[in-house]
Amino acid sequence: MTGSTKAAGTFVAAADLAPPRSEVGVIGWLSKNLFSSWSNSLITLVCLWVTWRVVMGVLDWAVFSAVWTGNDGTVCQSANVGACWPFVTAKFGQFMYGRYPDSERWRVLLTYGLTAVTLAGLMIPAIPGKKWFGIFAVVGLPFISWGLLYGGMFGLPVVKTEFWGGLLVTLVVATVGIAGSFPIGIILALGRRSEMPVARWVSIFFIEVVRAVPLITILFMSSVMLPLFLPDGVSFDKLLRALIGVMLFSGAYMAETIRGGLQAIPRGQYEAADSLGLSFPQKMGLIVLPQALKLVIPGIVNSFVGLAKDTSLVLIIGIFDLLGIVQAGLTDAKWFAPGTAMTGYVFAAFVFWVICFSISRYSAWLEKRLSVGDRR
């Protein structure tokens, strides 16, 4: 040690020397984590090389060799071009709204805006008036959205659902599916655990039947079989049929997720609620469900993300969601070129990723906030 003596007999420690440069900072971190041995160094170098190749490949395709402007596929008609972005630009309106008339598209945007404001009001803790936002979300928003999108109210011209498409349909199916499956799931989960035999049997039957068939089958039934059983002239809107199908399907899955949460609540909680003299709705609404739902947030979000992506299946019954409208756009002979298909699919994938990633980020945040009590 290099202690110095100031006065006789007192030892004063010298100020600590900074650790050697090879131990701290960027270099230290690198040598500790990436180059600690020759095998690690080798793996690091290989990974770096692979990453470099992939990133450069993607950049080259999406930016450097991409075509940015043009009016038809001929600009992309060359052997070595990357992405064909003019295809996306030219059809962007369609990808977003389907065949929704240009002059009415403000209605879609207004609906998005209203929904966003309501969701913000419900989801961001700092905004006051949760109760009113909640009531509006349940009572007002669905009807106002329908009125805006479909029209026929407030003097707006009717835009039939066959004109809807693209991201609009994806969002409508996903939102309605998510919003509808949640209450259906809670009811079915409670029903399956109920002591009333009829309620239990009906719930079990419904869950097991719906869960045992693929979503495609349900959509096919709703679009192909149902019209045969209905008397002539009675026909449900195709989109509405798909919406109900999606809602019931994800409701069955949601029920099992929520039931998992209900089973994790100790019996003592139920008994405590009973001993307080709470009624069944009070017991469930105030004691059991808040705990149970919190436990299964990852499972619920899993279902939601899955559902958001499953919406693409509606394209097999001739409804154009985002993926469907991109595929339909690819059949436009004007845009035939080697790179168009890839460009369209990458665009669709990116939009889906943005949607699903936002859902999962919000849920991660929510989970953290709700688990303050039992943070480990």
Partner 1 sequence: MKKLLGLGLAGAVAFAGLATGASAQQKTLDTVKARGTVNCGVAPGTPGFSNPDDKGNWTGLDVDFCRAVAAAIFDDPTKVSFKPLTAKERFTALQSGEVDMLSRVTTWTLSRDSAMGLAFAGVMYYDGQGLMVPTKLGVKSAKELNGASVCVATGTTTELNLADYFRSNNMTYKPVVFEKAEELNAAYEAGRCDVYTTDASGLYAQRLRFKDPSAHIVLPEIISKEPLGPVVRQGDFQWFTLVKWTYFALLNGEELGITQANVADMAKSTNPEVKRFVGAEGEFGKGLGLTQDWAVRIIKGVGNYAEIYERNVGPNTPLKIARGINNLWNKGGLQYAPPIR
Q: List interacting residues with partner 1 (CB under 8 A).
A: 72-73, 77-79, 90-91, 93-94, 98-99, 160, 162, 165, 220, 223-225, 227-233, 235, 315-318, 320, 324-325, 327-334, 336-338, 340-341
Looking at beta carbons only, is 179 or 332 nearer to partner 1? Answer: 332
The residues near 302 (Cβ < 8 Å, ≥ 6 apart) are 257
Nearest-approach distance from CB 324 to partner 1, in angstroms: 7
Name the phi and psi angles at 123, rounded to 5: -95, -25
Looking at beta carbons only, is 146 or 336 nearer to partner 1? Answer: 336
Nearest-approach distance from CB 162 to partner 1, in angstroms: 7
Looking at beta carbons only, is 8 or 225 nearer to partner 1? Answer: 225
Looking at beta carbons only, is 99 or 200 nearer to partner 1? Answer: 99
Nearest-approach distance from CB 111 to partner 1, in angstroms: 19
Give the C-alpha separation, 258 to 293, whole Å.
Answer: 7
Whether the Cβ atoms of residue 191 and residue 200 lie closer than 8 Å to each other: yes
Whether the Cβ atoms of residue 307 and residue 178 lie closer than 8 Å to each other: yes
Instruction: Report residue 85 as tokens.
Output: 């972005």
Nearest-approach distance from CB 149 to partner 1, in angstroms: 16
Nearest-approach distance from CB 64 to partner 1, in angstroms: 18
Whether the Cβ atoms of residue 200 and residue 192 lie closer than 8 Å to each other: yes
The residues near 225 (Cβ < 8 Å, ≥ 6 apart) are none
> 138, 139, 90, 141: which is closest to 112 by C-alpha?
141
Nearest-approach distance from CB 334 to partner 1, in angstroms: 6
The residues near 235 (Cβ < 8 Å, ≥ 6 apart) are 227
Q: Is 149 helix (H, G, I), strand (E, B) or coil?
A: helix
Q: Which position has the token pair 């996306």?
A: 88
Nearest-approach distance from CB 192 to partner 1, in angstroms: 20
Looking at beta carbons only, is 302 or 327 nearer to partner 1? Answer: 327
Q: Is 291 helix (H, G, I), strand (E, B) or coil?
A: helix
Nearest-approach distance from CB 325 to partner 1, in angstroms: 8
Count other Cβ atoms within 10 Å, centred on residue 145.
21
Looking at beta carbons only, is 200 or 294 nearer to partner 1? Answer: 200
Looking at beta carbons only, is 285 or 318 nearer to partner 1? Answer: 318
Give the C-alpha separation, 315 to 220, whole Å.
Answer: 11
Looking at beta carbons only, is 228 or 372 nearer to partner 1? Answer: 228
| Position 336, amino acid | F
Q: For residue 328, how far is the Cα from the chain centroid?
A: 24
